[in-house]
Structure 1
Amino acid sequence: MDTIPLDYPTLRLIWWLLLGILLIGFAVMDGFDLGVATLLPAVARSDEERRIVLNVIGPVWEGNQVWLILGGGAVFAAWPPLYAVSFSGFYLAMYLILVALILRPVGFKFRSKVPDARWRSAWDWALFVSGLVPALVFGVAMGNVLLGVPFHFDEILRPHYSGGFFALLTPFALLCGLVSVTLLVAHGAGMLAIKTDGDISARARRLGGWSAVVAAALFVVGGLWLATGINGYALQVAVDPAGPSNPLNKVVVSGPGLWMANYARWPALWLLPALSVAGLLTSSACLRVGRSGLAFLGSALAITCVILTVGFTTFPFLLPSSVQPGSSLTVWDASSSHMTLFVMLVATAIFLPLILLYTAWVFRVLRGKVGADHLGKSKNPNAY
């Protein structure tokens, strides 16, 4: 391994940061798609208004969803035990997300195939579900990461999950789900306010402003609940950052308040939850006064800092085990090999900038408002 320019602990830490970047990329980019779809029944009253809303996200949602594929691929290649536990333990939840996300392209393609009000209304509600359900389930999943997941490894490192789908729906996890929904609704409202005018923009700004305030309040409640009433996890004995990926070679303790240990160790981390709340309140205020661009940036900042808050709160844990804490997965014992992480890093350094450049080019080409006159430019009768 001497030929690899970066040591194993550094590569593990880089890939932990990259996983966070990919999650942030998905939440910021595809998050406004989910938020717009969730807002569809509330901000659009006529068929023309619904078509305008759909044309805000119709040209970009597929590109934005690339971030989800990148995140899933990174988990699979960089953190195989995490992939094995989460994708099998959360199987029904993942299936629910998959079904909801499948509704989105089907809804876009089939909605305008038949000029019937009931047909189009059914697909509009399907698109609403395709936005609401993933936003809720992703938040619930994040809540369960903080609570700990009921899994363990046997002596030959086979993962065993002992929970069920409905066991994931605890009050704290559902609170996290509501934070996710309200946060993404505010983010989607910011995009609608940027891309539309008139009644649609006004409704989006009003609903987004309230949603951002609710998200901030729920986030604060969740933080207080986490600090005072939720068991956290801590390493009793330090793990060798350069050691082999064996999650059973450590001792983990669980108890109230342990998730706050990193904040005592690094007080600057308090800036992350503070910026989350500040971003949401800024987004709300800017939506109310018509500063749509700043509102969108505020909600994007909030999303970024919420994800970073969870990541740094749980570090070095990736997925704690609630039934056998010693089986918990950490940054230092759940990664692929040294060589695999390096090769993946080289590939990421090449292709991630290309994705960013292409995304920036697409949004530059599609800049400007979407209105009723935009709908008339299409010669395709089945267009959005």
Structure 2
Amino acid sequence: MIDYETLKIIWWLLVGVLLVGFAIMDGHDMGVGTLLPFVGKSDVERRVIINTVGPHWDGNQVWFITGGGAIFAAWPLVYATAFSGFYWAMLAVLWALFFRPVGFDYRSKISDPRWRSTWDWGLFVGGSVPPLIFGVAFGNLFQGVPFHFDDNLVSYYTGSFWGLLNPFALLCGLVSTTMITLHGAVYLAHRTEGVIQQRAIRAATIFGLLLIACFAAAGVWLAYGIEGYVISSAVDAGGQADPLAKTVVREAGAWLANYKLAPLTILLPVLGFAGALGAILLARANRTLLAFVSSALMLVGVIGTAGASLFPFIMPSSSDPRASLTVWDSVSSYTTLGIMLAATLIFMPLIIFYTSWAYKVMAGKITEAYIRENDRGAY
């Protein structure tokens, strides 16, 4: 039997896996959408770009839906507090995502250039806004979110939407945007050829270098400019969830403490930098499949760095530090986590299997000749 403490750690890791899976699978088609108006210079070129992701973008959404469902079931206090505090930000993500199904399905139904251009920019919004907002959200987690609980564990958010748009959070938004756009550019380079591929490689170079610069700047800022959170009291890691049963203090440099306690975690930021640099170099060498793998490893490194730095905190509170939500005190019951783990062990392999099969079936280059020959069937 797995004990409660171990189950909490397992679900922290599983949520991380789902976030990374979402970034890899849904991230590349968001990155492609971000690049669409700039890499595609004509209607045919833009249709080529859209058709690299059009057949499977909706299947990739399963990672987003599963991640949200996992947070709801495994970390109900996090879900409730985050969605109330980040309400308008989450609505902005949903509004942006609305452009994607309509844009993909209706963009090429009418040949009017104004109609198609409008949906091209709609797909740009649907691809660029969610990564930016997700990055801003992570930036605010490191600074602490202004919320507290009453005696009945009802959360109260005391901040504002505009307060989320602070300098460090915006920098984290740039990290998220550049890494997703790099990932999309590498994927686009792998699925296209000729002038579109060359533009995608140039985009990968630009956004890869921007990512390296922004990731380094965020790390330095986090180390020297932002106080971290530390649990200063005893914690019953295997006990029932009670976020108010601990004491939390803020200390300079605390977000780096885990790298001293577990030195191997330093491999995560190293992987982020190395993966980005490898993606650039491999794409420029026209080794696009390896570049995509390197870009995926970059996503593991960057997202893993955020998780390792925050651990065991999930959602720190700037209003009442003891109300900060952690891996130990924001989870569901032992029974719920156990049932969910069993379901995950059954369905996660199925998701990976059918995703792999779908990409194998749709492998190959998308060309302008293909679009002209399949004018009615292509997106």
TM interval, shorter chain, is: over 0.9
CA-CA distance at 1:380 after TM superposition = 3.0
Q: Which residue of 2 aligns with 1:41?
A: 37
- How many angstroms apart in 1 are the aligned matches of 2:135 and 2:98? 19
Q: Does 1:245 align with 2:241?
A: yes
Superposition pairs of residues 68-83 of structure 1, within 5 angstroms:
68-83=64-79
Shift of 1:109: 1.5
**Corresponding residue of 2:83:** 87
Q: Match for 2:122 among 114, 118, 126?
A: 126
d(CA) in 1 for partners of 2:321, 2:121? 42
* Residue equivalent to 1:274: 270
- Indicate the RMSD between aligned Cα atoms, in angstroms: 1.0
Q: Which residue of 2 aligns with 1:234?
A: 230
User: Unaligned 5+ residue runs, structure 1?
Assistant: none
Give the aligned partner of residue 296 of structure 2. Answer: 300
* 1:339 and 2:343 aligned: no
Match of residue 114, structure 1, among 87, 110, 117? 110
TM normalised by structure 2 equals 0.98
Q: CA deviation at 1:46?
A: 0.5
Match of 1:212 among 208, 214, 223: 208
Deviations 1:184-220 (A, max 9, x none): 1111011011000011100000111121011011101
Q: Provide TM-score, normalisation by structure 1.
A: 0.97
Partner of 2:12: 16
The number of aligned residues is: 379
What whole-Å deviation, never above 9, does each CA across 1:45-102 have from its counterpart, x for those lacking one? 0100000000001011111111000000000000000000011110100000001111
Matches within 5 A, 1:1-384: 5-378=1-374, 380=376, 383-384=378-379
Deviation of residue 237 (structure 1)? 1.2
The CA deviation string for residues 299-334 of structure 1, in whole angstroms up to 9 with x for no partner, is 111111111111111111111001110000011111
Report the AA paired with residue 209 of structure 2.
Answer: V
SS of 2:108's partner is helix
User: Could you tell me how far apart the structure 1 residues matched to 2:135 and 2:292 are?
Assistant: 20
CA distance in 2, matches of 1:150, 1:283: 38
* Counterparts of 1:183 and 1:349, CA distance in 2: 29
In 1, Cα distance between the equivalents of 2:207 and 2:315?
A: 29
Q: Percent identity?
A: 54
Structure 2: unaligned runs, 5 residues or longer: none
Partners of 2:59 and 2:237 in 1: CA distance: 36
8 Å Cα contact 1:36-1:188 kept in structure 2? yes
Query: After TM superposition, what 4+ stretches of structure 1 lie above 4 angstroms from structure 2?
Result: none
Task: Give the letter for the 1:85 counterpart.
Answer: T
